Structure 1
Amino acid sequence: MQYPRLFSRGRIGSLILKNRGIMMPMATNLADKDGIVTQRLIRYYQERARGGVAMIIHEYTGVDDVDSIPAIHNLRIARDYHIAPMEELVAAVHLYDCKIIAQLHHGGATSNPNLTGRQNIAPSAVPIAAGRPVPREMTLEDIRRVQDKFIAAAVRCKKAGYDGVELHGAHGYLIAQFFSKYYNRRQDQYGGSTENRARFLTEIIEGIKEKLGDFPVLVRMCGDEMTDIEGFLSLQDGLEIAKVLEKAGIAAINISNGSSLNADANCEPFSYQPGWKKHVAKAYKAALTIPVIATNTIKAPEFAETLLEEEICDFVGLGRSQLADPYFMKKAQCGESKEIRKCIGCLYCRERVLRDGLPVRCAVNARTAREVEFDALKLDGNGQSVAVVGGGPAGMEAARVLAKRGFDVTLLEKEARLGGTLNIADKPPFKDKISRLVDTMSVQLKKQGVKVRLDHQATVEEICALKPVGVVIACGAQPIIPDIPGLDGDNIYLAEEVVSGKVKPKGRVAVVGSGLTGLETAEILCQQGHQIVLVEMAREIGPGIFPAIRNDELSRLLPYNPAIYAGHRLMEANSQGVMVENLSTGDRRQLKADSVVLALGIRSRVELVEALASALPYGKIRLAGDARKGGRIADAIRDGFEAGYTF
């Protein structure tokens, strides 16, 4: 066994777990508008159970649909009519020898008054963040009423067949608000001392035990809120609370980090490295006798094994790794670790759920939360030949899926290695996870028997010689160069050329365009010692970038003090720099720069695509990725998967 600790049996209360991998709760937006379990939600969790985790702690589940509705599709167990659909979910997970725990939740001050039609309630009248609604301080009657809702929800969970419940005391939600010296300013028995601030929760635990006896109750809390504001929990504050909870009889503690004002310590952008917060979990394991579950930015089973070996925790919390590859555990157990699709930390999942209110998706796994539509591949290839033009993410994924269906796939790539634009995207700081994605996809192609021809500029003659039944064209895109005077000068460069190291701009550099590529290019140039002028047409730099990623990038770029011209349009480039126009006033000004770098996005290679499509004597031609429409990694992999699935 390559990972003996990861695949050793473990115990949480009365539960025996087959290994040490536990799927962590993550919002999905897959419930219906009444918080009821859907078939899509069932298949999503069932897929993770099939993948080999020992236990699933599923997404936050509302106990109160009167005072706590954080999102339209928030899963709930607030009413008896929620029980029967949840029983179906539990049964689907239990089929695969996987335990399932419901995470019980109340938003408190984080709820959405637009959905409840009521003022939020909280321990004290303190808004969760600046500009957010001021909640009403809970009366003793309110406290008892909400506690009863937690207890009633636990009773419903047991009726539905759950193996236990987890009480959500992390991330700034109601229980965490009671824990907090910042949000909880009460002067009664629910405020002040550690025991008083934990009392709201310990009384819920007592009530559940009184009703259900030996029914495992877990608690999730932030081990360290990592928020440099007086009143937010330090590591020592958290340890004191955890000891009170252990005394109250919880079966295990699930350690997260961060707060309502520091979500990155909970769900990190790509720049955070695995294990950066393991000292927190280790402190809890040293202080407590109950099992400790902890997340630690786990991307690979090797690292999970190390955490267990170092006694950082008793069980490893697998979060986004379960979105990227639900078969993480099974592949690790079967010696197929190189085939695990690893999370790249892009936060596409968070962006969809938290910013856009859409169902969860994963950039590197097109089936995530779409298991209903893509239930099983048709094995109907029968050895027929298919050509795939382009070895970027879309082409690689299309080739993999087609080969799994039984087609004889030949992939033609003009460069010397697979990856396409991923081989540029992996060059900025902290983007090594993208290199690993290329490696994994390459391994998967090899396993499926895809014939890869590198250094091949695909021609119609070569494609026709394969006698394919069809062709997938995934030949990527090209950078946008607008029709503006001066962009043919010797001091004009493309961002892709700079990032890949093919060119080296001189002196002061004007970077035009501040999407993620533009910001990363500017960061690289700053690290090389260049002064930067950043030009962007939108009112703010980084338009469209998910705030957590944008803020993370700016935290590294802004200390270099780049000159920023947001709301300005490029009008002309010349030997002295660039002429820009203020879109608000119409004023024009010359910005001094020795070099100009364009990061203005991409467009499809329309001419190449049309030439291939018109010359090939085949009706079955599919476009995928940037060849169809410019987009991100998530778009390319989804396009490739769908092209291969529906071909």
Structure 2
Amino acid sequence: MATLEDPIEIGGVTVPNRLYRAPLLECAGNGPDAVDALIDDLEPAAESGVGLLCQGATIVRGEGGCAAPGMTRIHDPDFVERLSRLTDRIHDHGSRIFIQLEHGGLRSMETWHAEYREAHPDLEQLAVSRPPWQLRLLDRLGFLAYDPHVLSTDEVYDLAADFGRAAANAVAAGYDGIHLAGANMGIVQQFLSPFYNRRDDEFGGSPEARLKFLAVVHDEIRERAGDVPIMTKVPAETPAPPSPIVRRKLSLEDGIEIACRLEKIGYDAVVPVQTSVAWDMSIVRGEYPARAWENDALREGYDAAFGGAARRQVVALANRLQSFQYDFEPAWNEDVCRRVRERVSIPVLAEGGIRERAQMDRLLGSSEKGTNGVGERKPACDMVGMARPFYAEPRLGARLLERNSQTANPRVVCESCNNCTVPQVTGAPGICRTPAVLRKRGELEREGAYERLKP
């Protein structure tokens, strides 16, 4: 069975090992310092030996679609040309880099960010269908603001073409592969999900029709960017609020079936995840980020985002309640990954709550703890990834990869406290903000734990 140190091939690209940095919000934007910010954020993981880096959600159009402040756009060839400096730096360390392409649709800032809405009053959200009644209710109550533009059939094809053009730009800049943001309430999930997709044309109705957008995006990427590896997140909306609040959603079986169909379409890898129909703590399970909410320096930014102190407090309360609903669970996507891997032959990537080397070995099937009861190892995935732990330890790979590890079962110092995530609604960079975690990282730095041994 595979170990973390073994290479793997994704769509013809060889990745030197099976550890990857999952997509995160870099908040680098497109300004004159954007490429330097991306290098500062991503290169340390490559220096530490991580085999694959996935640059976080990058918007395929020049206007609208950003789910958070400071997201990078990849529509402009002049800007994209500068990104070759980033990909060259990653390749210098022997790592590979994929870029995650995204459009927020109904999740975009023009829905929820009060100051942004005020500054851009003419922006509409791109919508797969008319928003579900639950979202329209939040609109009437004043928590969200919807002015949706439901995509026509021709406009769906145009949007898919934008994904293809963005992929071609990325390949020209040296990216090794394309990672589609298929979950976290982005436009792709909105096409896949019966909660959002009530269309009556060729892109809606049956499960096969709801999958057609991803099929057209695949074909556009192939036509414009060639045989670049393509992978996507695959959602199962199993933690969604229960009926009667949410009756239509993607079941676990639906998510597994989508992954199987994507292999037939020609996708080169899948990342199965259990997520909600909404953008909530189902994707960042863990503690209520009290320290982040109580930070006086960030409070003005929160008020600008949510529309004042009262609404900030309501959002913080909702955040606290969700921390109980989505309590941290180690490797919470293991079951869906294992079931997908039993039915596909393309690589399956696992992320979500993976925090120590022993978990990685078990998921990859290189540990006896992963046996199926008759002595045969049964892997749940082919690669293992983490996101938030790289905020806490940018050079984390040096501690996890076997030849560098100083302990039998190295564990990340990240406490899944989520103090790193809430400030991003203000456009703050993704960094660890928890003193106890930073002290532990400092101790490890002084011990030389992040010094990568040369082959």
Amino acid in structure 1 at the alignment position of 2:96: K
- What is the alpha-carbon distance in structure 2 between the residues aligned to residue 294 and residue 217 of structure 1? 16
Amino acid in structure 2 at the alignment position of 1:286: E
1:11 aligns with 2:28: no
Residue 173 of structure 1, CA deviation:
0.7
In structure 1, what is the equivalent of residue 129 of structure 2?
124
User: Are residues 250 and 315 of structure 1, via their aligned partners in 2, closer, same or farther at CA, if it must alter by over 3 Å?
Assistant: same
- What is the alpha-carbon distance in structure 1 between the residues aligned to residue 128 and residue 421 of structure 2? 28
- What is the alpha-carbon distance in structure 1 between the residues aligned to residue 217 and residue 2 of structure 2? 37
SS at match of 1:345: coil
In structure 2, what is the equivalent of residue 627 of structure 1?
none
* Conserved? CA contact 2:43–2:90, under 8 Å: yes
Q: Deviations over 1:18-68 (max 9, x none)?
A: 11101100112122459x833122121111111111001110000012242
Q: 2:354 aligns with which of 298, 308, 311?
A: 298
* Conserved? CA contact 2:195–2:277, under 8 Å: no
Please report the TM-score for the alignment, with normalisation by the length of structure 1: 0.55
Q: 2:209 aligns with which of 196, 203, 210?
A: 196
SS at match of 1:38: helix
SS at match of 2:211: helix
Q: Deviations over 1:278-333 (max 9, x none)?
A: 11111111121111001131111121111111311110012112222233222232
When the two chains are superposed, the root-mean-square deviation of aligned CA atoms in Å is 2.5
1:350 aligns with 2:421: yes
Amino acid in structure 2 at the alignment position of 1:105: E
Amino acid in structure 2 at the alignment position of 1:157: A
Amino acid in structure 1 at the alignment position of 2:173: A
Q: 1:287 aligns with which of 343, 352, 355?
A: 343
User: Are residues 168 and 341 of structure 1, via their aligned partners in 2, closer, same or farther at CA, if it must alter by over 3 Å?
Assistant: closer
- What is the alpha-carbon distance in structure 1 between the residues aligned to residue 167 and residue 63 of structure 2? 18
Greater strand proportion: 1
User: Are residues 87 and 97 of structure 1, via their aligned partners in 2, closer, same or farther at CA, if it must alter by over 3 Å?
Assistant: same
1:276 aligns with 2:346: no
SS at match of 2:178: strand
Q: Deviations over 1:130-173 (max 9, x none)?
A: 32314221111211221111111011011101101111111111
* Conserved? CA contact 1:54–1:99, under 8 Å: yes
1:318 aligns with 2:386: yes
* Conserved? CA contact 2:271–2:349, under 8 Å: yes
Q: Deviations over 1:173-223 (max 9, x none)?
A: 111101010101011111011110011110110121123332111111224
* Conserved? CA contact 1:37–1:85, under 8 Å: no
Amino acid in structure 2 at the alignment position of 1:173: G
- What is the alpha-carbon distance in structure 1 between the residues aligned to residue 192 and residue 149 of structure 2? 17
Q: 2:234 aligns with which of 221, 226, 230?
A: 221
User: Are residues 225 and 33 of structure 1, via their aligned partners in 2, closer, same or farther at CA, if it must alter by over 3 Å?
Assistant: farther
1:28 aligns with 2:34: no
Amino acid in structure 1 at the alignment position of 2:161: D
In structure 2, what is the equivalent of residue 488 of structure 1?
none
- What is the alpha-carbon distance in structure 1 between the residues aligned to residue 23 and residue 91 of structure 2? 17
Amino acid in structure 2 at the alignment position of 1:319: A
In structure 1, what is the equivalent of residue 42 of structure 2?
45
- What is the alpha-carbon distance in structure 2 between the residues aligned to residue 257 and residue 357 of structure 1? 26
1:350-369 alignment runs, 5 A limit? 350-354=421-425, 356-363=426-433
1:322-471 alignment runs, 5 A limit? 322-332=390-400, 333=402, 334-337=404-407, 341-354=412-425, 356-363=426-433, 393=436, 397=439, 447=447
- What is the alpha-carbon distance in structure 1 between the residues aligned to residue 168 and residue 445 of structure 2? 45
Q: Whose radius of gyration is greater, 1 or 2? A: 1
User: Are residues 444 and 169 of structure 1, via their aligned partners in 2, closer, same or farther at CA, if it must alter by over 3 Å?
Assistant: closer
User: Are residues 99 and 187 of structure 1, via their aligned partners in 2, closer, same or farther at CA, if it must alter by over 3 Å?
Assistant: same
- What is the alpha-carbon distance in structure 1 between the residues aligned to residue 219 and residue 2 of structure 2? 37
331-340 vs 253-262, greater mean Cα deviation: 331-340
User: Are residues 97 and 444 of structure 1, via their aligned partners in 2, closer, same or farther at CA, if it must alter by over 3 Å?
Assistant: closer
* Conserved? CA contact 1:339–1:443, under 8 Å: no
In structure 1, what is the equivalent of residue 269 of structure 2?
252
User: Are residues 49 and 441 of structure 1, via their aligned partners in 2, closer, same or farther at CA, if it must alter by over 3 Å?
Assistant: closer
- What is the alpha-carbon distance in structure 2 between the residues aligned to residue 254 and residue 141 of structure 1? 29
Residue 335 of structure 1, CA deviation:
2.3
Residue 120 of structure 1, CA deviation:
0.8
SS at match of 1:263: coil
* Conserved? CA contact 1:343–1:364, under 8 Å: no
- What is the alpha-carbon distance in structure 2 between the residues aligned to residue 443 and residue 361 of structure 1? 17
Please report the TM-score for the alignment, with normalisation by the length of structure 2: 0.77
* Conserved? CA contact 1:339–1:444, under 8 Å: no
SS at match of 1:202: helix
Q: Deviations over 1:253-274 (max 9, x none)?
A: 0122213426322111144131
127-136 vs 232-241, greater mean Cα deviation: 127-136
Amino acid in structure 1 at the alignment position of 2:176: D
* Conserved? CA contact 1:223–1:281, under 8 Å: no
| Alignment coverage as a number of residue pairs | 374
Greater helix proportion: 2
- What is the alpha-carbon distance in structure 2 between the residues aligned to residue 253 and residue 341 of structure 1? 25
Amino acid in structure 2 at the alignment position of 1:249: G
- What is the alpha-carbon distance in structure 2 between the residues aligned to residue 37 and residue 17 of structure 1? 26
Q: Deviations over 1:325-366 (max 9, x none)?
A: 233222232122477652101101111113x3311111358x
Q: Deviations over 1:540-563 (max 9, x none)?
A: xxxxxxxxxxxxxxxxxxxxxxxx
User: Are residues 189 and 346 of structure 1, via their aligned partners in 2, closer, same or farther at CA, if it must alter by over 3 Å?
Assistant: same
1:138 aligns with 2:159: no
- What is the alpha-carbon distance in structure 2 between the residues aligned to residue 63 and residue 262 of structure 1? 20
- What is the alpha-carbon distance in structure 2 between the residues aligned to residue 72 and residue 275 of structure 1? 29
* Conserved? CA contact 1:222–1:257, under 8 Å: yes
Which ranges of structure 1 fall in alignment gaps of 5 or more residues?
366-392, 398-436, 449-647
Residue 4 of structure 1, CA deviation:
6.8
Q: 1:263 aligns with which of 280, 291, 307?
A: 280
User: Are residues 339 and 317 of structure 1, via their aligned partners in 2, closer, same or farther at CA, if it must alter by over 3 Å?
Assistant: closer
In structure 2, what is the equivalent of residue 519 of structure 1?
none
- What is the alpha-carbon distance in structure 2 between the residues aligned to residue 290 and residue 18 of structure 1? 17
Amino acid in structure 2 at the alignment position of 1:325: E
Taking only the aligned residue pairs, the percentage that are identical comes to: 26
In structure 2, what is the equivalent of residue 515 of structure 1?
none
* Conserved? CA contact 1:25–1:58, under 8 Å: yes
User: Are residues 4 and 326 of structure 1, via their aligned partners in 2, closer, same or farther at CA, if it must alter by over 3 Å?
Assistant: farther
